[in-house]
Structure formats: C-alpha cells, structure tokens
C-alpha cells in the first residue's frame, strides 16, 4: 500500500472515530440518546456549570458536537466541523480543568483529546476518502480553515469568559449567603 493511501486511510479512521464519538455525545445532549439528559437535562447541567442561559448553551453544545462530529466523520466542510468541535471542547476543558488531566478523576483528558484531534483535522484536511475530496475540496480552501478557526476561537473565548463571570458571581453570592447565615446564627445565640 502506498504511503499516500495509508495516510488517507489513517485520516478516514481518525475522522470516523472522533466524529462518531462526538455525534454520540451531541445526541445525548440534543435527544437524550445513549442515556443522555436531552435538552432539558443538559440545560440544567449547563446552567449549574455556569453556561447561561442553560438551554441555549445546551443546544449550541449539542449542535457543535453532533453537527461538527458528523461533518468530520463524512469529511465534509472538514475545517468547519473541526473548528466547531474544537470550540465546544475548549469550553468543556475549562469545566474539567480543576479536576486535573485524567478522565478517571473527572479531568479534561477526553474533551482535550477530542478538541485537539478535531483542530488537527481542520488543519490537515480530511484526506482522499471524504466528501470534501469528492467535491474538489471547495469547502476546505485555506481561507475557509482560517475563518472557521478564528470564528470558533472567538466564540469559545466569549463563552468561556461569560462562564467564568457566572461562576465567580455564583461563588460570591454563595459566600455572601454563608456569611449572612453565620451572622443570623450568631444573633440567635446571643444572650438576652
């Protein structure tokens, strides 16, 4: 087998594995498939993680994963699919980062690896066994890759920044409630 054909088969296997995994994760969020929470369950989880509004965040995350994963698996508009997935996984990494690297401890290993592979596919292209190749790579022009990655980076940055502000506000409100509860307890214990 030629070196070129081996690389193309490798890209196909990578696209199918990464894309299929992401479609499944997105289907959990959007449709409740594979034991997922669906939009409502995911919306509650997103809100609790600081992604607000929760329902909009659930839809965007689900669409990024399902749509981006499908585009990667098909090798169609590969830069767009890869960029969408990389952005969603960058946001997921921020949630899991406090738990360290390994997934076993709730760390960012899985979203980190999925996002890195998706970004790599956006840059490398899908290979010859893809719909992009069948269409003459009209959707993988260098400018498409640049625009997709920049737009995804900006979107991820905005989402992460908004989440950080929400998490900080939640922590401040929680700390204030705890202080007020402690103050109420001290007043209740004072001698009359």
Q: What is the pLDDT of residue 91?
A: 97
Domain count, the chain: 1
In a domain, 51, yes or no: yes
Spell 29-53 as b/e; 16+ CB within 10 A means b: bbeeeeebebbeebbebbbebbbbe
Per the structure, the complete domain to which residue 95 belongs is given by 3-171
In a domain, 187, yes or no: no
Is pLDDT of 41 > 60?
yes
Q: What is the pLDDT of residue 177?
A: 83
Q: Across residues 146-166, what is the average pLDDT?
A: 96
Residue 182: pLDDT band (50, 70, 90) is confident
d(CA 70, CA 166): 31
In a domain, 176, yes or no: no
Q: Across residues 1-15, what is the average pLDDT?
A: 92
In a domain, 188, yes or no: no
How high does pLDDT run on average in the chain?
Answer: 94
Q: Are 19 and 73 in contact (CB under 8 A)?
A: yes
In a domain, 179, yes or no: no
| 29-33, 129-133, 173-177: least confident range | 173-177
Q: Across residues 70-99, what is the average pLDDT?
A: 97
In a domain, 103, yes or no: yes
d(CA 151, CA 143): 12
Is pLDDT of 190 > 60?
no
Chain segment 114-130, per-residue pLDDT in tens: 999 999 999 999 999 99
């Amino acid at each position: 087998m030629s070196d070129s054909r081996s690389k193309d088969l490798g890209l196909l296997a990578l696209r199918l594995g990464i894309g299929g995994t992401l479609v499944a994760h997105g289907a959990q969020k959007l449709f409740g498939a594979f034991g997922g929470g669906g939009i409502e369950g995911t919306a509650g989880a997103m809100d609790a993680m600081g992604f607000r509004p929760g329902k909009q965040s659930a839809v965007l995350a689900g669409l990024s994963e399902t749509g981006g994963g499908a585009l990667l698996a098909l090798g169609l508009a590969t830069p767009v699919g890869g960029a969408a997935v990389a952005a969603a996984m960058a946001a997921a990494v921020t949630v899991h980062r406090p738990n360290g690297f390994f997934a076993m401890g709730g760390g960012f290993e899985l979203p980190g690896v999925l996002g890195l592979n998706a970004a790599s596919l956006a840059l490398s292209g899908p290979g010859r066994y893809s719909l992009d190749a069948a269409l003459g790579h009209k959707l993988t022009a260098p400018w498409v890759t640049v625009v997709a990655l920049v737009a995804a980076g900006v979107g991820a940055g905005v989402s992460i920044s908004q989440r950080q502000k929400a998490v900080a506000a939640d922590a401040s409100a929680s700390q204030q409630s705890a202080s007020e509860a402690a103050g109420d307890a001290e007043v209740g214990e004072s001698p009359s």
